Amino acid sequence: MNDAVPTQKPDLKPKLRDLPHKPGVYLMRDRLNRVIYVGKARDLRKRVGSYFTPNKRMQADPKLRALLDSIWDLEWHAVKSEPESLLLEGKLIKEFRPKYNISFRDDKRFLLVRVDLREEWPRFRLSRVKKDDSRYFGPYANAGALRQTLKFLRKKFGVLTFGRGAPSERELKSSTYQVPMRLADTTAEQYRGRITEACAFLEGQSHELIEQLENEMREAAGKLDFERAAELRNIIEDLRATTKRTRRFTRHSLPSSINPPADVAALRDALRLPKLPRVMECFDISNISTTHVVASMVRFSDGVPDKANYRRYRIKTVAGQDDFASMAEVVRRRYSRVLSELRIADCGLRKEGDERVVDFSETQEEPVDAVARLTSSAFHNPQSAIRNLPDLIIVDGGKGQLSSACRELQRLRLFDVPIIGLAKEFEEIYRPGNSLPMLLPADSGALKMLQRIRDEAHRFANGYHQLLMKRRIGESLLDECPGVSENRKQLLLKKFGSVLRLRRASAEQIAGIEGIGPRLAQQVVAFLAARR
């Protein structure tokens, strides 16, 4: 199926003529239909057209020339404003991770404003993720304007920002919080009125206040106080940038041709599977460094993510970076666990955490048949939680990863479970017993289905790896804390689980640990507070 890959570069001039003079985001694709660059533009026609002018290649650096040589197709999404284009650009870069983009490829997200109305004295804080039932505003593309807006909120509405808990002694005495009275003379109920007004302002009910500031700016200019007028002008611009309504982009709000049921059917036909791959499981290894080698397993049901059945693993038996051995370990652990649960369920027992390699030598029944029997009877029993085997296993990688996974499946006597390997560079599909890879058309629903599940496994594995790295960095902070030895550090982490939870603990709670007295507990609290 190699003829599915185009060999002659298409003419993009008709598409360029259709580009609108509007702000938006554009995506450039290579001959395999992979997104290789995402950009934003104030004027889509001018910005994208500039890539294809005759003198562009002559003036381009080597990286830009390589990009221009790789462009075989492009698409665009028009939006209402420049801030929206920035938000959408970040969303798409994180989704596609194009090779020619640098910004937004990490885990950083745009800032949100968070206020927890369950607190007695709610505070406005900055956040990058929604992690609880607090009220959130944003995301905001301009971090500088957002910080200036929070500064304005403190002065105009007298609300608390950052920190936690009831107002500190310094905040009670501060002249910043006296609208219309000082915080020291304000009750928690009165303070909530200020919070309500500030929330309304962030929601966009800011026209009257901005008009008031514009009048003050004109008065200052009339009195030749241009410094004050310029200061007010900057405040107004920041407030408009922050309180202007912007759309929140999700994958489903973008133009898309995704049709999960059709893609699943196309995948069955392309791979000649015995039945629809309604349940698919995909494995990926993340070994950015030897410090933490991790793996992920994601499950798709009927073509859509089944996040309740995602799993992540820390590689235990492999030293260094060995993708083949790591893939073998995670496949062995995953399906040994499934078969162990099967055997335990068949005996009417329950046992948690069993990852043994199950020996079926004492029975004539094959594991696949046993799973089918038990899950079929479990269909009428809501109390049963027996996990079924997938209709298709996908490993991220080529021949080596596939061979390692196949050996483990054979040891478990799972001979009839279909499995393939998907190599990322050219999207080659490797199958057991076939030396040559299969190439599917770049626009086929079958390939797009495989790419979605593979990319999701990659995202999930990288997210776990970065979480472990952040924990390691947080734990290393304690190495710098005076009086905290390695033994005391382990005691603290064993008790509280992480540095994040340790930050939330009081000095009394820390002092309750054997070997850590009140004085050292105060030092730990002060040390972590100074390094927020």
pTM over 0.75: no
pLDDT > 70: percent of the chain? 78
pLDDT digits 0-9 by tens, 231-284: 777 777 766 666 555 555 544 344 444 688 999 999 999 999 999 999 999 999
Q: Which is more confident, 254 or 193?
A: 193
pLDDT for the residue numbered 147? 81
- Which of 124-138, 293-307, 339-353 has the highest mean predicted lDDT (pLDDT)? 293-307
Q: Is the peptide bond before 139 cis (omega within 30 degrees of 0)?
A: yes
Domains and CATH numbers, the chain: 2-96 (3.40.1440.10), 111-243 (no CATH), 260-469 (3.30.420.340), 481-529 (1.10.150.20)
At 62, the pLDDT band (50, 70, 90 cuts) reads: confident
Query: How far is residue 341 from each of residues 102, 331, 353, 382, 448, measured CA to CA in Å?
Result: 45, 16, 9, 17, 33
pLDDT for the residue numbered 416? 85
Summarize the confidence of residues 100-109 as an average pLDDT: 61
The b/e string for 18-50 (b: 16+ C-beta within 10 A; e otherwise) is: ebeebbbbbbbbbbbbbbbbbbbbeebbebbbe
Write the DSSP symbol of residue 347: T
pLDDT digits 0-9 by tens, 156-183: 788 888 877 788 888 888 877 877 787 8
- Which of 5-9, 449-453, 482-486, 502-506 has the highest mean predicted lDDT (pLDDT)? 449-453
pLDDT for the residue numbered 108? 55
At 351, the pLDDT band (50, 70, 90 cuts) reads: very low
pLDDT digits 0-9 by tens, 80-100: 777 777 777 877 887 778 888
Is pLDDT above 60 for 72?
Answer: yes
Q: Which is more confident, 25 or 383?
A: 25
Rounded Cα distance, 76 and 476, in Å: 45
At 193, the pLDDT band (50, 70, 90 cuts) reads: confident
Amino acid at position 104, single letter: F
- Cα–Cα–Cα angle for 248, 123, 180, nearest 5°? 115
Radius of gyration of the chain (CA): 29
At 373, the pLDDT band (50, 70, 90 cuts) reads: low
Summarize the confidence of residues 105-121 as an average pLDDT: 75
pLDDT for the residue numbered 54? 74
What is the CB neighbour count within 10 angstroms for residue 502?
A: 21
- Which of 79-88, 208-217, 424-433 has the highest mean predicted lDDT (pLDDT)? 424-433
Q: Which is more confident, 197 or 393?
A: 393
At 474, the pLDDT band (50, 70, 90 cuts) reads: very low
Is pLDDT above 50 for 430?
Answer: yes
pLDDT digits 0-9 by tens, 39-61: 888 889 888 988 888 777 677 77
Q: What is the mean pLDDT of the chain?
A: 78
pLDDT digits 0-9 by tens, 139-153: 776 677 778 878 888
Is pLDDT above 90 for 395?
Answer: yes
Rounded Cα distance, 127 and 468, in Å: 20
pLDDT for the residue numbered 5? 53
- Which of 251-265, 421-435, 498-512 has the highest mean predicted lDDT (pLDDT)? 421-435
Poorest-pLDDT segment among 151-160, 381-390, 400-409, 451-460: 381-390
Poorest-pLDDT segment among 169-183, 201-215, 355-369: 355-369
- Which of 194-208, 304-318, 399-413 has the highest mean predicted lDDT (pLDDT)? 399-413
What is the CB neighbour count within 10 angstroms for residue 398?
A: 19
At 334, the pLDDT band (50, 70, 90 cuts) reads: very high
Indicate the helix (H) or strand (E) that contains 430.
Answer: strand 428-430
pLDDT for the residue numbered 471? 56
pLDDT for the residue numbered 35? 86
Is pLDDT above 50 for 124?
Answer: yes
